[in-house]
């Protein structure tokens, strides 16, 4: 059985994995760069080892991470999300060294990470996909020819892309000419591949994804869907489970499609199948993420299933703890990504020292974070510093709880997206659950919120100033 896991990641997801290990009686090993020496995941793991002074190189060196897993006596490695989590070489390196990779095998990661290959796999499985180039584009002239066949608008995407990077909407030939070299450059820098492809742009769709779990015994289930339509420049901000916009029939349809997709490629472990839902209520396969998602938390809240625990059990060769009939959903959950950004200044990153932090509480409130009072947020990584997750029996109660919890958070010293989210939660579209991916772009006024501080924020700031002056 798995007795020791190296967590090949950092931040809140590394803390999340360490907590799951502790509950399962498994020892956890953290890794950290010099910039992360005082990070919370280093404190939470049973052991921690330095990756050196470079803030990124260690986290991105698959062979070094696997060598460290072997040297520290680990049985398995959990990649978290981001960094090397969807890099087939990390999974392959684990396999070569006898370390269990907590995720799908290298070949599945490669196939589903290549967006054109993933499209072909889903077409073969009978899933609906958006019209597009059925292979990588040769050059700009090829792109122009394909776009002429598909019809504008089109989405120009990096074949190996993800996380909202390497993607541009092109509404005309001029847009495509202007963006082609940019996307190729982004793809090369971010993913090490210059390959790009085209898809028909589904205008103002809803972004719906399904959490799946599959074991090595041929069992696969879904944990219902998540609505990720509140996003900015293809980066998710607020996620909801289940979607308040789907009918029960649609929910059953998309869940069945996701399980079919997973089984068709021999998928194992946790994954997410992402779809677009157009105005005519047609689902289109978009991509499959072969890893744990940032927003896995809300699927856990509505089903009561610990997804990280299931990941570890699957990697250990055990069957799923649940059959599809055992999976019941209850209520609604909302996750709000608290980013260290200034919405009033075009979401400029706001890294720095947190002078005061305390998490909200109360029924149905969960905070996944790796920050604490005095923590210095380094400028080298993603701007997300915490995830606020709320659950309630009804949609209205969940929205009200989210608003209350956002007001309860004490987070001083940096700018965050908290006040921006409070404005979003006030809107009629959000309260009625009638929004799509155009929501943020069509509501620029929401970033013009009042900067007036709350009374307890002022008190906290004064207390911090007094303590600093007194040398406390």
The reply to whether 238 falls in a domain is yes
Place of tokens 């309860």: 408
- The rounded mean pLDDT for the chain is 94
* Residues 182 and 243 occupy one common structural domain: no
* Residues 188 and 232 occupy one common structural domain: no
Which phi-psi region, left, alpha or beta, contains residue 234 (left: φ > 0; alpha: ψ -120 to 50)? left
Contact (Cβ atoms closer than 8 angstroms) between residue 414 and residue 377: yes
Could you report the per-residue pLDDT of 280-334, keeping only the tens digit for each?
999 999 999 999 999 999 999 999 999 999 999 999 999 999 999 999 999 999 9
128-148 burial, b at 16+ Cβ within 10 Å, e below that, comes to ebbebbeebbeeeeebeebbe
Could you report the per-residue pLDDT of 369-427, keeping only the tens digit for each?
999 999 999 999 999 999 999 999 999 999 999 999 999 999 999 999 999 999 999 99
Q: Which band of pLDDT confidence, cut at 50, 70 and 90, is reported for residue 137?
A: very high
Q: CA 311 to CA 290: how far, in whole Å?
A: 12
* Residues 168 and 30 occupy one common structural domain: no
Q: What is the pTM of this model?
A: 0.91
* Residues 78 and 149 occupy one common structural domain: no
* Residues 262 and 381 occupy one common structural domain: yes
Name the residue among 355, 320, 357, 323 with its Cα closest to residue 338: 357
Q: Give the pLDDT mean for 419-438.
A: 97
Catalytic residue set:
291
Q: CA 151 to CA 176: how far, in whole Å?
A: 12
* Residues 63 and 141 occupy one common structural domain: no
The enclosing domain of 264 has a CATH number of 3.30.470.20
The reply to whether 430 falls in a domain is yes
Could you report the per-residue pLDDT of 8-38, keeping only the tens digit for each?
999 999 999 999 999 999 999 999 999 999 9
* Residues 93 and 44 occupy one common structural domain: yes
The reply to whether 119 falls in a domain is no
Name the residue among 248, 208, 212 with its Cα closest to residue 229: 208
* Residues 330 and 357 occupy one common structural domain: yes
* Residues 251 and 292 occupy one common structural domain: yes
How many domains does the chain contain in total? Answer: 3
The reply to whether 139 falls in a domain is yes
- Residue ranges making up the domain that contains 392: 206-456
The reply to whether 286 falls in a domain is yes
- The percent of residues in the chain predicted with pLDDT above 70, rounded, is 95
């Amino acid at each position: 059985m798995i007795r020791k896991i190296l967590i090949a990641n950092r931040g809140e997801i590394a803390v999340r994995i360490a907590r799951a290990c502790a509950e399962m009686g498994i020892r956890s090993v953290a890794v950290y760069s010099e910039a992360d020496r005082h990070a919370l995941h280093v404190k939470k793991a049973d052991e921690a080892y330095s990756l050196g002074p470079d803030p990124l190189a260690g986290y991105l060196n698959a062979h070094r991470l696997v060598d460290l897993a072997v040297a520290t006596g680990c049985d398995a490695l959990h990649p978290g999300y981001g960094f090397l989590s969807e890099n087939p070489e990390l999974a392959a390196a684990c396999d070569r060294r006898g370390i269990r990779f907590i995720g799908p095998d290298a070949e599945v990661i490669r196939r589903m990470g290549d967006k054109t290959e993933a499209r072909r796999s889903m077409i073969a499985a009978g899933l609906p996909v958006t019209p597009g180039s059925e292979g990588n584009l040769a050059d700009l002239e090829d792109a122009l020819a394909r776009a002429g066949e598909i019809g504008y608008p089109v989405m120009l995407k990096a074949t190996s892309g993800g996380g909202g990077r390497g993607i541009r909407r092109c509404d005309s030939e001029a847009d495509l000419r202007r963006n082609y070299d940019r996307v190729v450059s982004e793809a090369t820098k971010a993913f090490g591949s210059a390959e790009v492809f085209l898809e028909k742009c589904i205008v103002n769709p809803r972004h719906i994804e399904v959490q799946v779990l599959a074991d090595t015994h041929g069992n696969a289930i879904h944990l219902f869907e998540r609505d990720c339509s509140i996003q900015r420049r293809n980066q998710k901000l607020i996620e909801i489970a289940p979607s308040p916009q789907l009918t029960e029939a649609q929910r059953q349809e998309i869940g069945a499609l996701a399980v079919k997709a997973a089984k068709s490629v021999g998928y194992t472990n946790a994954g997410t199948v992402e779809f677009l839902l157009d105005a005519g209520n047609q689902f289109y396969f978009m991509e499959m993420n072969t890893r744990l998602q940032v927003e896995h938390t809300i699927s856990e809240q509505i089903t009561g299933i610990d997804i990280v625990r299931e990941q570890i059990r699957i990697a250990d060769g055990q069957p799923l703890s649940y059959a599809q009939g055992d999976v019941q959903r209850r209520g609604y959950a909302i996750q709000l990504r608290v980013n260290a950004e200034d919405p009033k200044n075009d979401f400029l990153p706001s890294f720095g020292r947190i002078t005061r932090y305390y998490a909200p509480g109360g029924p149905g409130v969960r905070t996944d974070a790796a920050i604490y009072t005095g923590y210095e947020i380094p400028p080298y990584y993603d701007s997300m510093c915490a995830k606020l997750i709320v659950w309630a029996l009804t949609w209205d109660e969940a929205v009200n709880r989210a608003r209350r919890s956002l007001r309860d958070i004490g987070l001083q010293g940096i700018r965050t997206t908290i006040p921006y989210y409070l404005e979003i939660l006030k809107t009629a579209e959000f309260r009625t659950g009638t929004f799509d991916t155009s929501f943020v772009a069509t509501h620029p006024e929401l970033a013009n919120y009042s900067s007036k501080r709350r009374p307890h924020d002022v008190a906290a700031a004064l207390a911090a100033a007094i303590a600093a002056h007194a040398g406390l």
